[in-house]
Structure 1
Amino acid sequence: MDKKYNLILVEDDASLGYLLSEYLGMKGFVVTWAKNGQEALLKTETNVFDLAILDVMLPDMDGFELSQKIKGINPELPFIFLTARSLKIDVLKGFSLGAVDYLKKPIDEEELVVRINALLARLVTETEEVPQLSHYEIGDYTLNTENFELRYKGEIVKLTGKEFDLLALLAMNQNQLCTHKEILTTIWDKNDYFNKKSLNVFISHLRKHLGRDPRLSIVNVNRRGFMLRVEEK
């Protein structure tokens, strides 16, 4: 991570707040931890943050109310809700108030980091218009991200939407591991058993689509994830 992103974490549970702030700090983020809504508002008034992570259940005000007060201070600050409540109406309320993501407790720290990085990358792309590659060379194949086509020596290889998204993620990380969690949270928005089964099916499809070039392989790396391996000529 080149830039040190500043996060404000609002969590009244001392154990979870300490755990998340330490873990995020180890991952390269600068974390300010507030234990209640009023403390969070004071810190938001005196500091510039890139992202707010808000617990819904706080002692002095709920996270929904806090998010609206933070918007009054910094309308552009994106926020993620953390909650132990799993009611669909709460999730919908969070998104209706402008949340960019919503994670249910117990929090998986690794998944939280993946989601934060994905969100910050998306926000940077939207605000700074970071140029993206329009195509990727994958051996004798070309993946065009503007017209959503995979071509083999000029011939179009038909892909479904999910197949294209999955191949694009692997192509962006050629010869590097993409973990199951990274793939599932990016493509399916949820890391669970059923989506992992679907992922294995889509990997099988992509192996067939890429089968014309013997230098290409999608490798299962120690049950941790997949790698698009491209051997040199």
Structure 2
Amino acid sequence: MEPKLKILLAEDESSLGLIIKESLENRDFEVTLCENGESALEAFYKKSFDAIVLDIMMPKIDGFSVATEIRKVDKVIPILFLTSKSQTQDVVTGFKIGCNDYIRKPFSLEELIVRIIALSERKLHIDKKTNFQIGKYHFNPDTQLLSHPKETFSLTNREALLLELLLKNKGEIIARETILNMVWENDDFFSGRSMDVFITRLRKKLNLDPTVQIINSRGRGYKLIG
């Protein structure tokens, strides 16, 4: 039995959100429904999803801002904007931010579901073949093996999650708070100290290739170069 596709749905119209959620669950999706942008971001940091459906006009944080934050740490996950904003400039803005699809309200529920399925399956296809190469290292997130011609390391789950996040955003600074929320699921003092320890462990494993480095941008976060 294949695992259910996991969808993050952010829609501030509660009746519409429930209709979409129920329709998707009837087709064997697992749906997390949020009624504002702030709770949508919190859900994204705590769980993994196969696709994200965002309303744009939401309380607390709008959909464009939510997508912008998500794209800072995940360039792959499909994002679909579902909105009553219909001007061409809104569509252009959505795609510039990095959305994969855009549906205007009112819409056909069946069309929405077909598009979500297409985006979710595309991500599954990408995930199956996502292995990382940096310098002389090869990293397989599924097996959690970090390989170098001289040595192979079996990473812990948290080491693997941290390295995958750095690799997906290679060359870009990832804020400490973002790393903590995505890998440790909170950003308190003790988690911050733990993160620094894990960064040190990864650096030791990566020192077989001097071109690969994890750089500390003081007061901001970390980035991986290679």
What SS class does the counterpart of residue 213 from structure 1 fall into? coil
Structure 2 gaps of 5+ residues are: 1-6, 37-42, 53-58, 79-115
- Residues 119-130 of structure 1 correspond to what in structure 2 (within 5 A)? 121=77, 126-128=120-122, 129-130=124-125
Q: Hey, what does 1:209 align to over in structure 2? A: 205
Whether the aligned pair in 1 keeps the contact of 2:11 and 2:34 (CA below 8 Å) is yes
**How far did residue 219 of structure 1 move?**
0.7
What SS class does the counterpart of residue 126 from structure 2 fall into? coil
Identity %: 26
**How far did residue 207 of structure 1 move?**
0.9
Which of 64, 68, 72 is the matching residue for 2:18?
Answer: 68
Q: Give TM-score, length-normalised by structure 2.
A: 0.52
Using the alignment, how far apart are the partners of 2:208 and 2:64 within structure 1? 36
Q: Hey, what does 2:193 align to over in structure 1? A: 197
- Residues 1-233 of structure 1 correspond to what in structure 2 (within 5 A)? 52-53=9-10, 67-72=17-22, 78-81=31-34, 112-113=66-67, 121=77, 126-128=120-122, 129-132=124-127, 133-153=129-149, 155-230=151-226
Q: Give TM-score, length-normalised by structure 1.
A: 0.51
Using the alignment, how far apart are the partners of 1:160 and 1:150 within structure 2? 11
Q: Which has the larger radius of gyration?
A: 1
Using the alignment, how far apart are the partners of 2:215 and 2:139 within structure 1? 19
Q: Hey, what does 1:34 align to over in structure 2? A: none
Q: Cα gap change, 1:138/1:74 in structure 2, threshold over 3 Å: closer, same or farther?
A: closer
What SS class does the counterpart of residue 228 from structure 1 fall into? strand
**How far did residue 113 of structure 1 move?**
4.5
- Number of aligned residue pairs: give it: 158
Q: Hey, what does 1:7 align to over in structure 2? A: none
Using the alignment, how far apart are the partners of 1:145 and 1:72 within structure 2? 33
The higher-RCO structure (CA 8 Å, 6+ apart) is 2
Using the alignment, how far apart are the partners of 2:76 and 2:210 within structure 1? 37
Whether the aligned pair in 1 keeps the contact of 2:132 and 2:140 (CA below 8 Å) is yes
Whether the aligned pair in 2 keeps the contact of 1:54 and 1:79 (CA below 8 Å) is no
Using the alignment, how far apart are the partners of 1:229 and 1:215 within structure 2? 8
Using the alignment, how far apart are the partners of 2:125 and 2:207 within structure 1? 33
Whether the aligned pair in 2 keeps the contact of 1:111 and 1:181 (CA below 8 Å) is no
Which has the higher mean CA deviation after the structures are superposed, 140-149 or 184-193?
184-193
Using the alignment, how far apart are the partners of 1:116 and 1:179 within structure 2? 12
Using the alignment, how far apart are the partners of 1:151 and 1:110 within structure 2? 38
Whether the aligned pair in 2 keeps the contact of 1:149 and 1:158 (CA below 8 Å) is yes
**How far did residue 67 of structure 1 move?**
4.5
Whether the aligned pair in 2 keeps the contact of 1:218 and 1:226 (CA below 8 Å) is yes
Q: Cα gap change, 1:155/1:116 in structure 2, threshold over 3 Å: closer, same or farther?
A: closer
Structure 1 gaps of 5+ residues are: 1-49, 84-90
Q: Hey, what does 1:3 align to over in structure 2? A: none
Which has the higher mean CA deviation after the structures are superposed, 213-222 or 71-80?
71-80
**How far did residue 153 of structure 1 move?**
0.6
Q: Cα gap change, 1:54/1:119 in structure 2, threshold over 3 Å: closer, same or farther?
A: farther
Q: Cα gap change, 1:190/1:219 in structure 2, threshold over 3 Å: closer, same or farther?
A: same
Using the alignment, how far apart are the partners of 1:169 and 1:206 within structure 2? 13
Using the alignment, how far apart are the partners of 1:220 and 1:170 within structure 2? 12
What SS class does the counterpart of residue 223 from structure 2 fall into? strand
